[in-house]
Amino acid sequence: MRRVEVKINNKNSQLIEEFLTYLSLDRSLSPNTCDAYEADIHKLLDFIEGKDLVSVTSEDISLFIRYIHELGLNPRSTARIISGLKTFYKLLITQDYIEQNPLQTILTPKLPKKLPEVLSHVEIETMLAAIDFSKISGERDKTVIMLLYGSGLRVSELVNLSINDLYLEDGFIKVLGKGEKERLVPIGGKTIKQIGLYFQYYRNEVSNENSKNTLILNQRGNKLSRVSIFKIVKDLASEAQVKKSISPHTLRHSFATVLIEAGADLRAVQQMLGHESITTTEIYTHLDKAYLKSVIEQYHPRS
């Protein structure tokens, strides 16, 4: 993307600020997502060389999209830019800055569904077996893996878990997900037992006045960071010689896939994952042909 030294005028600056406030407060989007939306508006501003955003036309947008396409931007990035600009101009309409959305006739590129990478149960077990329990961090690392894989938590949800969120006698944990939405997620007996071991052999040893109510701690007694969890997962995958490109989110994908392939109800999986839309959960229905064949043979009266 070309970078023109464009000075943002006060009007454009105000519109961008209002948009970011809307994304953060009304849409409850993460800071990273807000930053991506803002960066896309700046790409447009660079292209139109500082022109007022309220005066952008459909022709301007068409030329801009053709330009980023010629730069070789991949379809997924192009689709995100178009989606972000559509959201921005829809807001300008609701706030009476403009009367017509210049992206009204612009189609978002159709993207092929990218199936998430998943780990088999054997691969998960191999990673758990690779944990070095001679180190004090061993029980913590096992707890991290089991919560990600056993309850399908996002990294942000895991690092923000508190002791008060545990309802182990009832077999549930309370999770604060995207948009500050709470949900109850079932937790299995093996994970409950592991949490007990984590308290006994790790948390009780490292906790201090800074630990407060935080569940997962680093060795200094502070909240374990997202980066640290990424490192734990990556290092264990490497030790286990797992050749796939994985992240903590891979364990969440694996959790969902195991449930779907075992015949779990899609709506139930949606609730456990905290997906707002069922269509997001449907990506986990990438079942193998043998499983689909067995379902037909078992349930279809005319098979």
Catalytic residues: 154, 178, 249, 252, 275, 284
Task: State which H helix or E strand residue 181 sits in.
Answer: none
Alpha carbon 49 to chain centroid distance? Answer: 34
Alpha carbon 97 to chain centroid distance? Answer: 33
The Cα–Cα gap between 119 and 125 comes to: 10
Q: Locate 123 and state its tokens.
A: 């691969």
Residue type, 219: Q
The Cα–Cα gap between 34 and 165 comes to: 28
Residue tagged 């923000």 (tokens)? 160
Task: State which H helix or E strand residue 7 sits in.
Answer: none
Taking a C-beta distance cutoff of 8 angstroms, is the pair 109, 78 a contact? yes
Longest dimension (CA), the chain: 69
**Phi first, then psi: what are they for 88, rounded to 5°?**
-60, -50
* Residue among 272, 271, 269, 296 at smallest CA distance from 283: 269
